[in-house]
Each structure stands twice: as structure tokens, then as C-alpha cells.
Amino acid sequence: MTTLHRASLILSLVCSNLAILPVTCRAETQSELDHRMAWFREARFGLFIHWGVYSVPAGEWGTNKNYGEWFLEETKMPVSQYEKFASQFNPVKFDAREWVRLAKSAGMKYIVITSKHHDGFGMFPSDLTDWCIKSTPFKRDPLKELAQACQEQGLKLCFYHSIMDWHHPDWGTRRAWNDKADGTPDMDRYTAYMKGQLKELLTRYGPIGILWFDGEWEKPWTHERGLDLYNYVRSLQPNIIVNNRVGKARTGMNGMDQGAQKVGDYGTPEQEIPAIGFGPGVDWESCMTMNNHWGYNKNDQNWKSGKTLIRNLIDCSSKGGNYLLNVGPTSEGQIPEASIARLKEVGEWMKVNDEAIYATTASPFKRLPWGRCTKVVNGPEATLYLHVFDWPSDGKLLVPGLKNKIQKAFLLADPKRALTTEVAPEGVRVSVPAAAPDPISSTVVLKLEGPPQIEQIGIRQNPDGTLLLPAVDAQLHGEQIKYESGDHRDNIGFWLNPAEWADWEFQITRPGKFEVSAEVATTEAASIQVSLGNAKVLAALPVSGDYGQFKRVKLGILEVPSTGKMTIGVHGVPEGWHPVNLKSIRLDPSVH
């Protein structure tokens, strides 16, 4: 891997002065990397656990009921006062076997638990500080119990470990409210402390699947320290996987690296699922909460539905990534009932459909009108798993552009009954029962002859002459403008700069005059311009209310003179520009 080749060069310079323990600076071949990443790529689904002393005041402190794991930074409580919550952390109801059973029955293959969050509190007995589980009335080691339960039940245990530490006196951006610290912060000393704790975590709990770093964004943490830490962790457990938050190349919540200074093995989108994947060979994992908090919050009852969670898992898989779904247990050691109920719901779906998730790779289709697709290709044998969210009302499921002969088609919910298929010019048509086996997502399996052959069908006029240009199919030009997808999102957004633009290429079979309209959401007035060759229409958009409230707005008449391939572009008008969310452009044949 290029990172490591580069790493070995740079590390020969930095290892000697930063490392307090021996550092292995080694390169890795592609096949060694593939071998190390294999379980992660097959797993697709993991449980994130945010658990610490912050679960004591969570949702119950003062008048603001909104705190979670960021309690200390948000309240700016003196550290000496925050430390007192440790004496109330006594999770007597904690049952490691039960938690692992719950994760396993949801279909999860790994668990990532906070060994230390930003408040610096260790959820394990550390020899290097008293600011850990030793200072609570709970005289057990939750990580040890989880390690044992994971081993018994065949899940991988992984540690989330925050690099940023609001409690330690040597963290470089020491907070004013850290009343326990004096002298000058010293990042070398801090790094040595953190490595010491990581050594405890990586030598006392058996093999660990992932080291999940976070809090790397503050200035005192540098690329060189990141490289060194990566190699240190790998020297203690050579097969461990390390996320990209060990280094400095992550860009925002999208979680993927930019620039040359990459460290770590995979990207970490947070609270979002990328609109499309990142291509073969790029590993990533979207971490998301079930409500609005990572750590426990008593008042937060804004739960995502089981349907959303299941479709998120499918969505990640169909784009070649993993889904790391969070729970925030209470200070008594209980996972909230609402979370348990949802995990069970996902588990019920997985019982029937897990074959369409584990060890699959990304969809070969750019877009499917009714849902998602995952695939398994083994030499000449290929299987497509069609995840049908919107079941066809006419009993015919069209797989657009698929050219292969179909050996066998069936429902995962009813594998013994073969479905008939027909290869048509526009794709493969599968005859399906009238009712969907599962209203959330039903899986249709297609065993193909040979590897998938797909003709990406471009945008065409509908039989009635209309032409729809959806956001998802636009080519976007610019630094910030992007396609947003998710629960209630399916639009071009972050259109902050009017010089950035979108365009669509399409086929015209019936030329003529068209009325052009745009489906937009705006909070302030703005104008856009739609152009085709030399023809243009420019129109002011009315204010729709908010960025999620879309209105179709007529822009004017454009003439399309001939048949064939054309491109329509949409630009912002710089005068009086305010950001616009754009869901689609439509051309309707004009009667004028």
C-alpha cells in the first residue's frame, strides 16, 4: 500500500525521536493488505458502543437536557467536578454476554467500544492513571468481560480510542476548565501516555479487530505523530485494522482522506452515507447513531425506524462499505429498550436476507429505480442480489441494462420457487409475486451466466416526450457542490458558489420546443440559468421556505432543434446569489 511505502521512508526519520517503544516500520503488499482487511470487508455490519461516565449526567444536568458524550466540553464544567461522576458510575446491570448476543442476533460481526472518549476516562483498569474504571464503585473490567464474550460468540472486539484528551494535562490544547492541570502541556509526554494505554489495550485483551481513533483534528496532533502511532499499533498487533482518524487527511464528516498524507486503512464517514461509493479497493465504514446522540441521553427519543436502519445497511453494502450502528448504554449498564427493539428488527430481516449482505461487493449499477443491488463474483460465477424497496405493482421487476443470461432467479424469502425471467432490449425482466415478501426490502437473487454485463442506459425522453433530469444523474463541477442523499434527501446541495454548476447528458429522439422547469428548495431569493448550446433560459426562483421543501418552478421555453446526444447545464447567477437545493430539471413538450 502506498501509504506504508511512504510511511517507511518518513518513519525512518521520525521513529527514532517519537517512539518510546520499538516501532515496526514495514511495507505491506496488496495481497497482505487484502488478507488483513478480509474479515472487515466480509462483515459489513458492526455495533458501536459509546459508554463512559458521561452517561451519568446525560440528559439530566441543569436546564439543558441535550448533553451526551461531549458533556464536559459543552458545559465547561471544571474537571475536578466532572471527576465526581465516576463515583456514580456503577453499571451493575451490565451483562457482556447479553450485549454480544444482541449484536450477534442483529447480524453484526464486530463491536467497537469506547476504551476512552474525549473526556479521557478509561473504561478499563489502567496502570497509568486513576482516571479510569478503577475509580468507580464498579470493581470489574467491562472490556475484559466483552473480550471474553466476543471470543465465546465469535465476534471481533474493537476499541474506539480518542486521541484528543480534555482531561490529560499534557494534551496540547488544554482547556481553561481543566483545573487539575498545571505547567505547560507536552505532546511528547501525552503521546507516550497514550501509547502506554494502547499497549495495555493491545496486550491484555487478546486479538483486537480495529483500533478506531478519533479526535485527531486538533492542531497538536500531526501527520508525523499519526504515522508513528499507526505503526506502533501495528507493531503490537500486526493484523489489526486502524481507521483513518489516526492521521490528518480526513476531510469533514464525509470522512474520506484528501491529499497525499494519508494514514490508516479505511475511511470513516460520520452520520452520513456517501451518495455513491469510492470505487473498488477503497474501504470505508459509515458510523451512525440510532437517535441524535452517541452517548446515552435520557430525553432523546428521536429514534430512526427499523426500516431506515435496514435500508441504511443495504445502502452501505451496495456502495462497498460497512455500517457501524451505535448504541449508548446507561450508567447502570443497560442498552436502551428502543435500541434493543430496533436491533431485533434488523436481526429478523437479516435472518432471511443476510446472504445478500455478508461478503458482497458494490452494485454494478449506477442507479436502480426500485432499490439497491449487491453482488458476489467468483470467477465465472456471479450472483446479483436485488434489494427491492419499492415492489413492482405489475409483477414485473425490470433490471435495466442487464445483458446476461439468467441461470436461476428466486426470492431469498422463498428459495425453492424459481422465478421466470426474460431478456428484453431494455434489460432483464423478472416475474415476481404480486405481494412483496418484506415491505422494507425483499431480496431477488439472480444467478448469472458469466460476470455481470451491464449497459449503462443513459437518460432518454419518456414515451410522452418529457425528459426528467434527476439530481443523482448530474455531473457536478466544483469544489463544494455535491449530491446529497439520505433519509429525506435526494438533491444537489452545498451549491454555495454560483460559479459551480451541474450538467446532464441525454438522448433526444423527439426534438421541438420544451417548457423547462426546476424542482428547487431555497430560503432566500436566487436566480439560475439553464443552457443548451447557445439557447438559455434564466429565471428568478421564489423562496420555498427551507432547504428540504421543494417546489417545481417554471423557467421558460427552450428549443431543442435536432435528435441525438445533448447536454443541458445549470449555472447559478452570481448577482444576489443564495444557495439553492436542486432536485431535478424537467423538460415538457411545449404546446406553444
Q: Considering only residues 185-244, where is the footprint of ligand H79 by CB under 6 A?
A: 214, 217
Asked if 287 touches ligand H79 (CB under 6 A), the answer is yes
Residues contacting ligand H79: total by CB under 6 A: 10
Q: To the nearest whole angstrom, how small is the minimum distance from the Cβ of residue 405 to ligand H79?
A: 46
Q: Considering only residues 258-277, where is the footprint of ligand H79 by CB under 6 A?
A: 270
Binding mask 119-158 for ligand H79 (x = CB under 6 A): ----------------------------------------
Q: To the nearest whole angstrom, how small is the minimum distance from the Cβ of residue 69 to ligand H79?
A: 5
Asked if 113 touches ligand H79 (CB under 6 A), the answer is no
Contact indicator for 220, 187 with CB cutoff of 8 Å: yes
Q: To the nearest whole angstrom, how small is the minimum distance from the Cβ of residue 282 to ligand H79?
A: 19
* C-alpha 526: how far from chain center: 32
CA 156-157-161 angle, 5° bins: 140
Separation CA 63–CA 74 (nearest Å): 13
* Comparison of 69 and 438: residue with beta carbon closer to ligand H79: 69
One-letter-per-residue 3-state SS of 114-173: EEECCCCCECCCCCCCCCEHHHCCCCCCHHHHHHHHHHHHCCEEEEEEECCCCCCCCCCC
Q: To the nearest whole angstrom, how small is the minimum distance from the Cβ of residue 166 to ligand H79?
A: 12
Asked if 253 touches ligand H79 (CB under 6 A), the answer is yes
Q: Is 225 left (phi over 0), alpha (psi -120 to 50) or beta?
A: alpha
Among 51, 67, 190, 294, which residue sits at the site for ligand H79 (rule: CB under 6 A)?
294
* Residue in the shown chain whose Cβ atom is closest to ligand H79: 217
Q: To the nearest whole angstrom, how small is the minimum distance from the Cβ of residue 321 to ligand H79?
A: 16
Asked if 51 touches ligand H79 (CB under 6 A), the answer is no
Separation CA 242–CA 264 (nearest Å): 5
DSSP 533: T
Asked if 561 touches ligand H79 (CB under 6 A), the answer is no
DSSP 1: -
Q: To the nearest whole angstrom, how small is the minimum distance from the Cβ of residue 50 to ligand H79?
A: 6
* Comparison of 248 and 372: residue with beta carbon closer to ligand H79: 248
| DSSP state letters, 177-192 | T-TT--S---HHHHHH
Among 207, 252, 542, 545, which residue sits at the site for ligand H79 (rule: CB under 6 A)?
252
Q: Using DSSP, how many helices (H) and how many strands (E) does the chain show?
A: 10, 27
Among 69, 200, 228, 257, which residue sits at the site for ligand H79 (rule: CB under 6 A)?
69
Contact indicator for 322, 45 with CB cutoff of 8 Å: yes
Contact indicator for 169, 129 with CB cutoff of 8 Å: no
Q: To the nearest whole angstrom, how small is the minimum distance from the Cβ of residue 55 to ligand H79?
A: 13
Binding site for ligand H79 (CB under 6 A): 50, 69-70, 214, 217, 252-253, 270, 287, 294
